[in-house]
Amino acid sequence: MGGAGRLGGGGGCAVGTAVAADREDDALIGVRSSALRMGARVRAGTAGFYLLAVLCWAGAIWLVHADPLALVALVPVALHLGWQVTTLVPDDGGNALARFRSNRFAGLLMFLACLVVGSTA
């Protein structure tokens, strides 16, 4: 998988998992979501998907700039995702929705990481 595939795959596997706000709606209309499938383990599942995302992003960055220091660019986005997981209250729809909406900021942090690595490669 190339760098672009790793970047896209990393983000795609993580985005919808923390949206526990829609669990009731998903169950009501019969949508099979990752949040429903994980049930009470939604926090651990989200953490796993976020870890997978960061690893995919690290692999993509490594393909562009094979230097351990380049991976430091991922620290801010990794900390943000960690904050999402540690403060997630799965049964509080407002809390989960706020974490989901904060993915805009996570996207900005990832963009800045790519910009930094791309300008130094």
Q: What is the pLDDT of residue 68?
A: 92
pLDDT tens digit string along 33-84?
A: 776 777 778 888 889 989 999 999 999 999 989 999 999 999 999 999 999 9
Tokens standing for residue 86:
């540690």
pLDDT tens digit string along 83-101?
A: 999 998 888 888 888 988 8
DSSP 104: H
pTM: 0.79
Tokens standing for residue 32:
């099979």
Q: Where are the domains of the chain?
A: 3-120
Structural contact between residues 76 and 109, judged by C-beta atoms closer than 8 angstroms: yes
Q: Where are the beta strands (DSSP E) in 30-100?
A: none
Structural contact between residues 9 and 66, judged by C-beta atoms closer than 8 angstroms: no
Spatial CA neighbour of 111 closest among 69, 67, 76? 76
Q: What is the pLDDT of residue 45?
A: 87
Alpha-carbon distance of 45 to 68, in angstroms, equals 27
Q: What is the pLDDT of residue 3?
A: 52
Alpha-carbon distance of 20 to 77, in angstroms, equals 21
Three-state DSSP at 96 gives: helix
Q: What is the pLDDT of residue 2?
A: 55
